Amino acid sequence: MTNVKERRIQLSPSLMTMDLDQFKEEITFLDGKVNSYHVDIMDGHFVPNITLSPWFIEQVRKVSSLPLSAHMMVTDAPVWVKKLIDVKCDYICFPSEVANGVAFSMIDDIHAAGLKAGVVLNPETQIDIIKPYIDVIDKITVMTIDPGFAGQKFLAGTLSKIVELRRIREESDLSYEIEMDGSTNLKHWKMISDANPDVYVIGRSGLFGLTDNIEDSWSQMVEEYEQTTGYRFDNGKYQSRR
C-alpha cells in the first residue's frame, strides 16, 4: 500500500459504563485491545452523582496491569488526589474549575509519587484557565458532554479545544496527551477523528451498550469506526484507506 497516512490513537474504556456483572470477563477481553482504563470518581457535590472510588481501582488492579486514569469530578480535589496516590493510580486528573490555588501542589504531589497528573476541561471552561501550569501537566481531558452522567448530549463545539491544544503543544514543544471524553460513538466518530485527540474515552453508547456481549460489541465498534473515519485498525496503528 502506498501513500498511506498512519497515526496512533489510544482507547480508554470508561469502566463506569461497563457491565459490572461481567467485570472480570470484560476486563480480560479488553486487556489485549485497549491502552488504558478510564475511572470516573464523583463525590455527589461537584456533580449530582456518586460513582466509582479508589477502592474500585484496587479491584481492577487484581485483573489488569494496564494504566488506570482517574477522572475526578469532586469539589475537594486535594483530598481525593491523596486517596488516588495511595492506590497508585497511574493518571490522576483533577477538575480545572476547583484547582485555583492548589493546582501546583497537587501536580507536585502526583509527580513526587511517580504518577502522572492530568487536568479536565468541562464544556464551558476555556483553555486559558490551565495556561499557568500547562507545561507541567501530563494529560488534558476535554469533556465533550456535560459531566456527571453517561449518555448526555454531544457538544460539537468543544472539539475546537482539541485542535487548539494540539497547536499549543506543537508550537510550545510540550508533551501532554490530549484526551476526549463523552459520547464517542457511531454518530460522532468522524468529527472526533477529524479533531484528532490522542486518547478516546469510550463508554456505553460506543462500546459496552452495543450488544449483549463484549466480543460482539467490540467488533461492532471497530466496524463503525472504520466505516465513518476511513481509518482501519491494524495492530495499534490506524491506517487510512484513502
Looking at 40, 43, 138, 198, which residue is catalytic?
A: 40
User: Is residue 40 annotated as a catalytic residue, yes or no?
Assistant: yes
Q: Are 88 and 82 in contact (CB under 8 A)?
A: no
Looking at 43, 181, 194, 216, which residue is catalytic?
A: 181
Q: Are 128 and 161 in contact (CB under 8 A)?
A: no
Residue 25, Cβ neighbours under 10 Å: how many?
14
Residue with cell 496491569: 65
Residue 59, Cβ neighbours under 10 Å: how many?
15
User: Is residue 181 annotated as a catalytic residue, yes or no?
Assistant: yes
The string of DSSP letters for 11-67 reads EEEBGGGS-GGGHHHHHHHHTTT-S-EEEEEEBSSSSS-B-B-HHHHHHHHTT--S-
Which is nearest to 115 in space by CA: 156, 80, 84?
84
Handedness of CA 220, 221, 226, 227 (dihedral sign): positive
Which residues are designated catalytic?
Answer: 40, 181
